[in-house]
Amino acid sequence: MSLFWIVIRELAEIEAMATSKKVITREEWEKRLNDVKIRKEDMNKLVMNFLVTEGYVEAAEKFRKESGTDPDIDLATITDRMAVKKAVQAGNVEDAIEKVNDLNPEILDTNPQLFFHLQQQRLIELIRNGKIEEALEFAQEELAPRGEENQSFLEELEKTVALLAFEDVSNCPVGELLDVSQRLKTASEVNAAILTSQSHEKDPKLPSLLKMLIWAQNQLGEKAVFPRITDLSTAKLEDPPV
Amino acid sequence: MDSSLTLSLSHTNSDTHDLIGTYFLEQWRLKSKAAVRKSESVMGVSENQYLMEIDSEECEEELPTELDTLHSSGGFSIVGSDKLSVRYPNAHLHGHDVGVVQANRPAPCKRLVYYFEIFVENAGTKGQIAIGFTTPGFKLRRQPGWESNSYGYHGDDGLLYRGQGKGEAFGPAYSTGDTVGGGINYASQELFFTKNGTVVGTVFKDVKGPLFPTVAVHSQHEVVTVNFGKRPFVFDLKAYEAQERAKQHSTIEKLSIPQNASYGIVRAYLQHYGYEDTLKTFDVESRSTLPPISFVQENGFAEDVSVYSLNQRKVLRQLIRSGQIGDAFGKLRELYPQILQDGTSAICFLLHCQNFIELVRVGKLEEAVLYGRTEFEKFYKLGDYDDLVKDCAALLAYEQPQKSSVGYLLGDSQRDIVADAVNAMVLSTNPSVKDSRECLHSRLDRLLRQLSACFLAKRTFNGDQGEGFHLHRILNSGMKG
- A33 interaction partners in chain B (CB closer than 8 Å): 446, 449-450, 453
Phi, psi of B123 (to 5 degrees): -80, 0
pLDDT value, residue B106: 94
Instruction: Please tell me what DSSP assigns to residue B64.
Output: P
Highest mean predicted confidence (pLDDT) among A5-19, B275-289, B349-363, B422-436: B349-363
Closest C-alpha to A80, from A62, A61, A104, A64: A104
- Specify the higher pLDDT residue, B301 or A206: A206
Contact A199 B479 (CB under 8 A): yes
**How confident is the model at residue B308, as a pLDDT?**
87
Q: CATH homologous superfamily of domain B78-236?
A: SPRY domain (2.60.120.920)
pLDDT of B418 strictly over 80: yes
Closest to B451 (Cβ–Cβ): which among A209, A231, A233? A209
A239 touches chain B (CB under 8 A): no
Q: Which pLDDT value is given to residue B4?
A: 41
Average the pLDDT over A172-194 and give the result.
87
Of B262, B456, B478, the CB nearest to A201: B478
Q: Residue B94's pLDDT is what?
A: 63
CB B404 within 8 A of CB B291: no
Q: Which residues 143-182 in chain A show a CB within 8 A of chain B? A: 180
Residue B452: pLDDT above 60? yes
CA distance B335 to chain A (A): 22
Interface probe with A: pick from B27, B52, B262, most Cβ of A within 10 Å: B262
Alpha-carbon Rg for chain A in angstroms: 27
Q: In the prediction, which pLDDT does B155 show?
A: 93
When CB atoms are compared, the residue of B253, B412, B449 closest to A36 is: B449
Nearest chain A Cα distance for residue B30, angstroms: 10
Nearest to A216 among B275, B445, B455 (CB): B455
Q: If residue B200 lies in a helix (H) or strand (E), which one and from where to where?
A: strand B198-204
What is the pLDDT confidence band of residue B51, given thresholds at 50, 70 and 90? very low
Alpha-carbon gap, residue B161 to B153, rounded angstroms: 6
Which residues of B are less than 8 Å from A211 in CB distance? 252-253, 255-257
Task: Read off the DSSP letter of residue B362.
Answer: T
Is A211 close to B255, i.e. CB distance below 8 A?
yes
Query: Tell me, what's the pLDDT at B14?
Result: 47
pTM given for the model: 0.82
pLDDT of residue B193: 97
Residues of chain B with CATH 2.60.120.920: 78-236
Q: Spell out which residues of chain B touch residue A204, defining contact as CB-CB under 8 Å.
A: 262
pLDDT score, position B466: 87
- For residues A119 and A125, what is the distance between their CA atoms, to the nearest angstrom? 10
* Among A60-64, A86-90, A181-185, the range of highest mean pLDDT: A60-64
| A40, A217, A235 ranked by CB distance to B420: nearest | A40
Q: Label each residue of B378-422 as H, E or C.
A: HHHHHCCCHHHHHHHHHHHHCCCHHHCCCHHHHCHHHHHHHHHHH
Q: Phi and psi (nearest 5°) for B139?
A: -70, 115
Residue A239 has pLDDT above 60, yes or no: yes
* DSSP string for chain A: --HHHHHHHHHHHHHHHHH--EE--HHHHHHHHHH----HHHHHHHHHHHHHHTT-HHHHHHHHHHH-PPPSS-HHHHHHHHHHHHHHHTT-HHHHHHHHHHH-THHHHT-HHHHHHHHHHHHHHHHHTT-HHHHHHHIIIIIHHHHHH-HHHHHHHHHHHGGGG-S-GGGSTTGGGGSHHHHHHHHHHHHHHHHHHTT--SS-HHHHHHHHHHHHHHHHHTTEE--B---TTTTPPBPPP-
pLDDT above 70 as % of chain B? 84
Q: Does A59 touch chain B (CB under 8 A)?
A: yes
Q: If you average pLDDT over residues B398-420, what whole number do you get?
A: 92
On chain B, the residues whose CB falls within 8 A of the CB of A233 are: 258, 261, 264-265, 298-299, 443
Contact B450 A229 (CB under 8 A): yes
Q: What is the pLDDT, as a whole number, of residue B289?
A: 65
Rounded Cα distance between B206 and A175, Å, is 55
Contact residues, chain B, for A208 at CB < 8 Å: 249, 252-253
- CA B281 to CA A51: how far, in whole Å? 11
pLDDT in tens, A88-99: 989 999 999 999
How far B354 CA sits from the closest chain A CA (Å)?
A: 18
B207-223 confidence digits (pLDDT tens): 888 999 999 888 888 89
For residues B90-108, average pLDDT: 79
pLDDT exceeding 90 applies to what percent of chain B? 51
A19 at the B interface (CB within 8 A)?
Answer: no
Residue A211 has pLDDT above 50, yes or no: yes
pLDDT surpassing 80 at residue B298: no
* Distance (Å) from the alpha carbon of A162 to chain B's nearest alpha carbon: 27
Residue B7's pLDDT band (cuts 50, 70, 90) = very low
User: Nearest residue on chain A to B437, judged by CA atoms?
Assistant: A34
Minimum distance, in Å, between the CA of residue A158 and any CA atom of chain B: 28
CB A81 within 8 A of CB A96: no
* Residue B286 scores a pLDDT above 50: yes
Q: Mean pLDDT lowest for which of B3-7, B275-279, B403-407, B465-469?
A: B3-7
CB contact under 8 A, B270 and A47: yes
Residue A142 has pLDDT above 90, yes or no: no
